[in-house]
Amino acid sequence: MNSYKNITAKSDAPPLPVSVSTTMHGLLELTKPRLSLMSVFTASLGYLVHFPLTPHFYIFFCLTVGTALAAGGAAALNQWMERDEDLLMRRTADRPIPAQQIEPEIALIFGVCLSSIGLAILWIGTNPWACSLTFLTLVVYLLVYTPLKKRTPYATEVGAISGALPPLIGWVAASGGPTTYGWILFGILFTWQVPHFMAIAWNFRQDYQKGGFQLHNLGNPNGFHLARKSFIYSIILSLFIFSPYYIETTQPNPGLLYLISACLLTVYILINSFQFLNSSNRDKSAKKLFFVTIIYLPLLFATLVVDRFL
């Protein structure tokens, strides 16, 4: 998931001396702070949804730190693996490796170290379930999703698996193992990612074409298939967010606050995904859908956490 920005590529720039501050900034950027923060945010919320039953602040601290390091390490390794493709795309050409701020070998070592330390903290400070699911996230993201991006547009669903595991990781850190409620959180984040990323894929389709990625290519040049996929997954997402009310779980059902929030957010995302499907200006509607999904997730999860405390 990437923010919209305009970048001037510097693919032919000769190597320049790199200062310590530039190197440190480059290492920070390797971790994709905003994307990694999303993983930490959803893992933390997964824990906090269960929190009233398990108030262990040490576990929560280790979960947060371990998830942050593992996510940052995964981001660094992903950029190491895709450094040649990043150089070809305008929106990624200023990343630390193609911009020659960080040597590829340094990025590799940095990513392995961060991921390993994060996994160790999760193993020691939480439980084997949380550590194992984090390791699975790394494997799916780096060894399955990353190479598939250049082969099939359905790599999106594979990437959504790794992106949806953090709330389940937070849940199992609190509960000791996966339960129906934990899988519901996984389902919410899995289905949310598809309309979110389809909007990105459409607006950056030219960049993806240059980089050799297939994420935007569903066989229809006008984006209809991308938009249809967004709308279908928005409907499935709506089923997931109401599922705690009709699926029997060991956890208390959400209250009125969550129900009102879920209803409003469902209408909001369905309207915008439908507009993406039927709009004559798909570029504009895709950008709007992107920002709607950005607002949608934190509001939904935050309301679920607050509702649990109330």
Q: Each residue of 265-305: pLDDT tens digit? A: 999 999 999 999 998 899 999 999 999 999 999 999 889 88
Which pLDDT score is estimated for 53?
57
Q: What's the Cα-to-Cα distance from 149 to each of 215, 217, 267, 291, rounded to whole Å?
A: 6, 11, 31, 23
Share of the chain above pLDDT 70, in %: 91
DSSP state of 15: P
* The pair of three-digit structure tokens given for residue 227, joined into one six-digit string: 């938009």
Residue 62, pLDDT > 60, answer yes
Q: Which domains does the chain have, with CATH numbers?
A: 23-150 (1.10.357.140), 179-310 (1.20.120)
> Can you say whether the dihedral through the CA atoms of 86, 87, 93, 97 is positive or negative?
positive
Q: What is the pTM of this model?
A: 0.87
Query: Contact, 292 vs 301, CB < 8 A?
Result: no
Q: Convert the pLDDT of each residue in 64-119 to its tens digit.
A: 999 999 999 999 999 999 999 889 888 889 999 999 999 999 999 999 999 999 99
